[in-house]
Amino acid sequence: MKSRKVQQLVEEVKQLPYGERAELIEQLIAASAQDIDPAVEKAWGDEAMRRLKEIEEGKVKLIPGEEVMARARKIIGRK
C-alpha cells in the first residue's frame, strides 16, 4: 500500500512532461543502484557470466520467450 506522501508524489510526477519524468526515473534508478551491496552485485555478475558460458558451450537448452510466456500464463490461469 502506498503511503499518502508517495501517492502525492506520484500524482505530481504524472503532471510532468515526458522528458522530465524520464529524467526523474533515471535519477531514481541511479540513486537506488548506489544502495546495492557490492558483494551481491559481484555475485550476480558472476552468475550471469556462468550462465552465458553454459549457453555458449551448449550445456543448456534455451526456451523461446513466447513459449516461456505461454507456460507462465497457463500456470497463473490466464490465456
User: Do 69 and 46 have their domain in common?
Assistant: yes
Q: What does each C-alpha distance from 79 to 32, 62, 76 come to in angstroms?
A: 35, 23, 9
User: Which pLDDT belongs to residue 33?
Assistant: 82
Number of domain units in the chain = 2
Residues 27 and 48 in one domain: no
Tell me: do 57 and 71 sit in the same domain.
yes
- Supply the pLDDT for residue 2: 77
Residue 21: count other Cβ atoms within 10 Å of its Cβ. 13
One-letter amino acid at 6 equals V
Q: Please tell me whether residues 47 and 25 are part of one structural domain.
A: no
pLDDT of residue 32: 87
Domain residue limits at 52: 38-76
Task: Render pLDDT for 18-70 as a digit per residue (tens, 0 to 9).
Answer: 999 999 999 999 898 888 899 999 999 999 999 999 999 999 999 999 999 99
- 42 lies in the same domain as 68: yes
Per-residue model confidence (pLDDT) at position 62: 95
Whether the pLDDT of residue 79 is over 70: the answer is no
